Amino acid sequence: MKYYDKLIFDLSKAGRQGYSLPTRSWDATLESLPAGLRRSEKPELPEVSELDVVRHYTNLSQMNFGVDSGFYPLGSCTMKYNPKINEEIAAMPAFAGLHPLQPAATVQGALRVYRELAKALSAITGMAEFTLDPFAGAHGELTGLMIIRQYHISRGDLNRTRIIVPDSAHGTNPASAAVCGLEIVQVKSNANGLVDVEDLKPLLDDTIAGIMMTNPNTLGLFEKDIKEIAALVHQCGGLLYYDGANMNPLIGMVRPGDMGFDVLHLNLHKSFSTPHGGGGPGAGPVGVAEHLVPYLPVPKVVEDEDGLLSVVDKDGNACGRISGFMGNFGVLLRAYTYILMLGKQNVKQVGPLAVLGANYIKESLKGCFKLPIESVCKHEFVFDGLLDQSTGVTTLDVAKRLLDYGFHAPTIYFPLLFHQAIMIEPTETESKETLDGFIEIMEHIAAEAISDPESLKTAPHTTPVRRLDETTAARQPILRYKDLV
């Protein structure tokens, strides 16, 4: 253990200070607070210098792994690089200093960003209109399903309370449908990993609100029967929901609107380069085809003939309200910056390059890892563990060993269709050299699995914490220093 891995509480020394507050008296302010809200004892904070605090947080930050510190091929998550100009624009005082309750006349620039981003996303996806209000992919799913429900209700079609979800779907799909009060009907995948059209047909009747699809699906495969599926679902009166969290490979190539989808969400924190997960809040804009525009949630931004923008807060047709104000504006700014920086021409290269990188890794490694579905993938693909599993080395062991070599592990044990799933998504922002480095290490690990299986089963060896009991870590996390000692 390095000296500074010591927790800051161990460095505390009574009376040591790392701050100085203005000398003016706060007593009058304090006395105006109700007694019940006032602290009667000093907080138990470590007494340390400013430098101790700086080192503590800097060292903590280096114990973590981020896309800024190394390759992060986490399938289904699109961990692409977040260009720093996005941060600069989002931090501009003219944007960062706005208050959400300012009159519309004083925030025309921000509302313009909202409108223009909505238009850009409409152009990229082939949808008629967008709301940028939802805060995450799953939140977008809920919003989209509320729009579908509102559409059926507005037509007096009240029996449509069931939604079809493929067995390969991301877990948020059935979860969002359940939150929306819909009953989930599962449709199976066929041997090629695609939605089984024959299994779908008997499910379609007048109780079906729609189907939720991911295309390319969570195996990284393009649902080539999508036109037929769209026609079948529309014939029975249902709508098509597109889970566009995986839009990255399609950007500039294919538009879900043209495939027949009625509603979709995008994950700006995946395909549109805004920070992801612990790196920041998300955004899950929802796009709709023309016939669903009236049901978009409030608040919405509208433009009059003179180009003046205003916020509509009440609308009887709307499916409801899903955000206090208008989404995570700082995130929207970052995505808008990303799209403008790429421009119309370069945006077309995002999808093809993401697909090329994924296929390059897949083809390079299929001599060491089991490839259950042999076809051209899109932005990601799934191996089913090592080709030679005779020494008992599992996918978990491989993932842990990768950490020792400075790569983040891919997604493992998802999708649930294979027992030893490893799902790899490189994204277009990685160089060929990085992909080659990753391939080399994966080959090395496959060789180690035979020559020295123990080193894999006990990995990781070089990380700040070794292998965790993952269930206990998730169910009973220790979040306070006090619980550690």
Ligand X SMILES: *Cc1c(COP(=O)(O)O)cnc(C)c1O
Binding residues vs ligand X (CB under 6 A)? 76, 136-138, 170, 172, 214, 218, 243, 245-246, 267, 282, 284
- Report the side by side order of strands in the sheet with 421-424: 381-384, 421-424, 411-412
Closer Cβ to ligand X, 281 or 392, answer by number: 281
The half-sphere exposure of 475 on its side-chain side, counting CA atoms within 13 A, is 4
CB contact at 8 A, 337 and 89:
yes
Q: CA 332, CA 267: separation in Å to the nearest integer?
A: 11
Q: Are strands 129-131 and 286-288 parallel, antiparallel or unpaired?
A: antiparallel
Taking CB atoms, the residue at the shortest distance from ligand X is: 137
Nearer to ligand X, 118 or 247 (CB): 247
In contact, 438 and 365? CB cutoff 8 Å: no
The tokens for 79 are: 């961990």
Residue 36: alpha-carbon gap to chain centroid: 41
* Distance (Å, whole) CA 150 – CA 130: 16
Closest distance to ligand X from the beta carbon of 79 (Å):
11
Other beta carbons less than 10 A from residue 445's beta carbon: 23
Minimum distance from residue 309 beta carbon to ligand X (Å): 27
CB of 275 to ligand X, least distance (A): 12
Q: How far apart are CA 293 and CA 135, in angstroms?
A: 20
Give 386's DSSP letter.
Answer: B
The answer to whether the beta carbons of residues 143 and 297 sit under 8 Å apart is yes
Q: How far is the CB of 120 from ligand X (least distance, A)?
A: 20
Smaller CB separation from ligand X, 76 or 427: 76
Residue 49 C-beta: closest distance to ligand X, Å: 39
Phi-psi region of 392 (alpha: psi -120 to 50; beta: other; left: phi over 0): left
Smaller CB separation from ligand X, 255 or 265: 265
Nearer to ligand X, 76 or 143 (CB): 76
Instruction: Kindly state the smallest distance separating residue 176's Cβ from ligand X, in Å.
Output: 9
Q: Which residues pair with 265 in a beta bridge?
A: 243, 286
Closer by beta carbon to ligand X, 189 or else 267? 267
Indicate the residue among 75 and 237 with the shorter CB distance to ligand X.
75
Kindly state the smallest distance separating residue 75's Cβ from ligand X, in Å: 9
